[in-house]
């Protein structure tokens, strides 16, 4: 008997503050339309020192976990390239913070922005073999390129949490997918750096080449064509990147389908445009954005392009389930984005420099303003001090 496996629930967290891209453009002497249209970003999440990938993941996961679901979780797969320790997995901190059962496998996965997709596919295969299992998959990152760099406009951050189960509420994953790896120096971050190194224009070309390769291979493997899809969801380092990806294959569709795929893309980029790049989580925020702002109905097939610099790409697909809207809290997500407050460019620059230092000193962060349930209070005796507070 074949088990239907996929995404049952999704949560998303991004911190309380954002930077307006028009303000950033003025401060950097650029035409605002370069950022708003040329790059396709309106706002960028500003990550305070009191949030790291562990707390952001906990804040995203707590939206989708009940005590009963927690008791059933067998595995936590944490995709991130912003890990807080070279040895200990963020997934272990997370499992403890969330109060997950001790008989849980907790692992961190790294391959640039591809880590969460690795987690999703490993989780799906695990559930195919163990149909009663529930797996928590995380994509959480802080995208940092540095002040006054070309990449600055593509920064951002946040976390997506997904529950992978049999008979999922949101999306049933197809078992066949196409993946491709090559040793490419388009974007990387050596262990001595807190900001990424990037060959920006080259990275956009590699992204598009990988998409072409895996899309062609997927079609050859499945005999499906563009006509079988209602929407394509892209990794969105900035929204224009996915737009270019879609344009690459649109000529394969007839005119009415070109219009519907373009409309679906507009829905899928809406939330990313407000948050910026969250690396591993970006593809899944785009998926959530499509579910929230699109007009899809159950039974439609969606295509996903995951890309992680360095580089690994994957095209996979899934079928939307009829009751998909009950797998996420739309009102909460709308409020979370709407309730954020703008910071000035000067405030953003100050916050950017306030990351927890890399020298192991005891540090007490300025806490007390947090609205999120989970936050970082500082470091003592070389250990991060995570806190949980009750919120409304």
Identify which of residues 198 and 320 has a Cβ nearer to ligand HMG in the complex.
198
Identify which of residues 16 and 349 has a Cβ nearer to ligand HMG in the complex.
349
Q: Check binding of 194 to ligand HMG (CB under 6 A).
A: no
Q: Identify the active-site residue in 17, 81, 274, 314.
A: 81
Q: Is 81 an active-site residue?
A: yes
Q: Which of these segments, 30-38, 283-291, 294-302, 319-327, binds ligand HMG (CB under 6 A)?
A: 30-38
Query: 286: exposed, middle or buried (C-beta count within 10 Å: 0-12, 13-18, 19+)?
Result: buried
- Binding to ligand HMG (CB under 6 A): which residues in 63-82? 81
Nearest distance from C-beta of residue 138 to ligand HMG, angstroms: 15
Residue 182, CA distances (Å) to 59, 121, 307, 311, 368 in order: 34, 19, 12, 6, 46
Q: Is 30 an active-site residue?
A: no
Query: 186: exposed, middle or buried (C-beta count within 10 Å: 0-12, 13-18, 19+)?
Result: buried
Identify which of residues 81 and 174 has a Cβ nearer to ligand HMG in the complex.
81
307: three-class secondary structure by DSSP: strand
Distance CA 285, CA 282 (A): 5
Q: Site map for ligand HMG, 116-155, x if CB under 6 A? A: ----------------------------------xx-xx-
Q: Do 35 and 25 touch, CB atoms closer than 8 A?
A: yes
Q: Which of these segments, 26-34, 262-270, 290-298, 378-386, binds ligand HMG (CB under 6 A)?
A: 26-34
Distance CA 191, CA 193 (A): 6
Nearest distance from C-beta of residue 228 to ligand HMG, angstroms: 25
Identify which of residues 112 and 376 has a Cβ nearer to ligand HMG in the complex.
112
Say whether 103 counts as a known binding-site residue: no
Nearest distance from C-beta of residue 356 to ligand HMG, angstroms: 21
197: three-class secondary structure by DSSP: strand
Q: Is 235 an active-site residue?
A: yes
CA 179 to chain centre: 19
Q: Identify the active-site residue in 152, 235, 314, 370.
A: 235
Nearest distance from C-beta of residue 145 to ligand HMG, angstroms: 6
Which residues of the chain form beta strands (DSSP E)?
Answer: 5-13, 17-20, 43-46, 73-79, 105-109, 134-143, 156-166, 171-173, 178-181, 187-188, 197-198, 231-234, 301-308, 312-320, 341-343, 363-364, 374-380, 383-388
Distance CA 99, CA 386 (A): 13
Q: Which of these segments, 12-20, 196-204, 258-266, 375-383, binds ligand HMG (CB under 6 A)?
A: 196-204
Q: Which residues line the annotated binding site for (3S)-3-hydroxy-3-methylglutaryl-CoA?
A: 31, 145, 244, 277
Which positions are annotated as active-site residues? Answer: 81, 113, 235
Name the residues that contact ligand HMG, by CB under 6 A: 31, 33-34, 37-39, 81, 112-113, 150-151, 153-154, 186-187, 198, 200-201, 203-204, 207, 235, 237-238, 241, 277, 279, 307-309
């Amino acid at each position: 008997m074949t088990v239907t496996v996929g995404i049952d629930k999704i949560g998303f967290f991004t911190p309380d503050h954002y930077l307006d891209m028009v303000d950033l453009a003025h401060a950097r002497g650029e035409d605002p339309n370069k950022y708003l249209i040329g790059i396709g970003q309106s706002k960028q999440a500003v990550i305070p020192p009191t949030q790291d990938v562990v707390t952001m993941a906990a804040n995203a996961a707590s939206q989708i976990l009940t005590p009963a679901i927690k008791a059933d979780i067998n595995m936590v797969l944490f995709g991130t390239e912003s890990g807080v320790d070279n040895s200990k997995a963020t997934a272990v901190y997370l499992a403890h913070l969330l109060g997950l059962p001790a008989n849980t496998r907790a692992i961190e996965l790294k391959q640039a922005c591809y880590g969460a997709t690795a987690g999703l596919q490993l989780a799906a295969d695990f559930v195919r073999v163990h149909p009663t299992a529930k797996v928590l998959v995380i994509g959480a990152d802080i995208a940092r390129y540095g002040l006054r760099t070309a990449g600055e406009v593509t920064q951002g951050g946040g976390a997506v949490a997904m529950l992978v189960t049999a008979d999922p509420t949101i999306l049933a994953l197809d078992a066949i997918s196409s993946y491709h790896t090559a040793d490419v120096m388009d974007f990387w971050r050596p262990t001595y750096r807190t900001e990424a190194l990037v060959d920006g224009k080259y990275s956009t070309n590699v992204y598009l080449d990988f998409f072409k390769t895996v899309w062609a291979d997927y079609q050859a493997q499945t005999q499906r064509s563009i006509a079988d899809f209602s929407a394509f969801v892209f990794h969105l380092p900035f929204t224009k990147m996915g737009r270019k990806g879609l344009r690459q294959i649109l000529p394969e569709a007839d005119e009415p389908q070109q219009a519907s795929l373009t409309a679906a893309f507009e829905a899928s980029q809406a939330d990313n445009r407000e948050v910026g790049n969250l690396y591993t989580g970006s593809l899944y925020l785009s998926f959530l954005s499509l579910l929230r702002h699109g007009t899809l109905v159950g039974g439609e097939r969606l295509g996903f392009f995951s890309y992680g610099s360095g580089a690994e790409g994957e095209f996979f697909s899934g079928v939307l389930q009829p009751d998909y809207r009950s797998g996420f809290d739309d009102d909460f997500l709308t409020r979370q984005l709407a309730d954020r407050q703008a910071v000035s460019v000067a405030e953003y620059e100050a916050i950017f420099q306030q990351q927890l230092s890399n020298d192991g000193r005891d540090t007490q962060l300025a806490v007390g303003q947090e609205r999120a349930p989970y936050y970082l209070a500082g470091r003592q005796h070389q250990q991060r001090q995570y806190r949980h507070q009750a919120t409304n």
